[in-house]
Amino acid sequence: MAISPLCLLVLAGLLGSLATEDLQKKVFVFPTASNSAAVFLKAPIQQPLTSFTVCLRYYTLLTRAYGLFSYATRRNSNELLLYKFNPNQYSLYLGGSNVSFNLPEMQGSQSDWEHICVSWDSATGLVELWVDDHLLPRMGMKKGYSINPEASIVLGQDQDSFGGGFDINQSFVGEISDVYMWDRVLTADEVNLVWNDLRVDNSLIDWRDLDYETRGYAVLHPPVFPSY
């Protein structure tokens, strides 16, 4: 039986917007606090990860806590979570453990776009956090750990269950762009390239060829300004 165009539109609204495209010079806008708005990302992860780097650029006026990048598995909803508790503190959760980075007041300003890269290596346990191309003192956790490849990857929310469990009080409000993930630790030179919006190949998640699905009130839109 043929499905009418109206039914297709209704289904699209219920299931979200699916796409794979080059999003250079575009942003995901999360206009309001929500327990439903999210962007789900798909990545070709076949083997357990023993290292990674995640980079993204974002803009928000929030001063409360919120999730930026959530990688949940059926075993652990915080398998990999990049979380910001307040304007001057980031936390990385990995396999249920976490480390926190306190920023100098000048770096915690919410007046402009902020670019971050976070990486971890199982062999050493070292965690690196780069904020606007500045490396904070390195920390360590989960040496010898491996990250489960069967994941639900979400922007703008903190998953408390696989693919859901969103809390409106932890939701992101603002704009996110330039999201990338690699299965290795980037060098300082490579982080600088990403910060300058230049390409570093062989990424698992590639903003210029992004496989994503929007759900709820999350809007893909050109940025307000021509550059960050």
What would the pLDDT profile of 190-217 be if each residue is shown by its tens digit? 999 999 999 999 999 999 999 999 999 9
Average pLDDT value for residue range 73-77: 95
Interatomic CA distance for residues 204 and 206, integer angstroms:
6
Q: What is the pLDDT of residues 21-63, one digit of tens each?
A: 899 999 999 999 999 999 999 999 999 999 999 999 999 999 9
pTM listed for this prediction: 0.89
Q: Which CATH class is domain 17-221?
A: mainly beta
- For 103, how many CA atoms within 13 A lie in the half-sphere containing its CB? 22
In Å, what is the CA distance from 147 to each residue of 21, 80, 81, 130?
Answer: 27, 8, 12, 21
Which amino acid makes up residue 77? Answer: S
pLDDT at 12 over 50: no
Tokens of 133: 């191309």
pLDDT of the residue at 130? 98
pLDDT of the residue at 162? 97
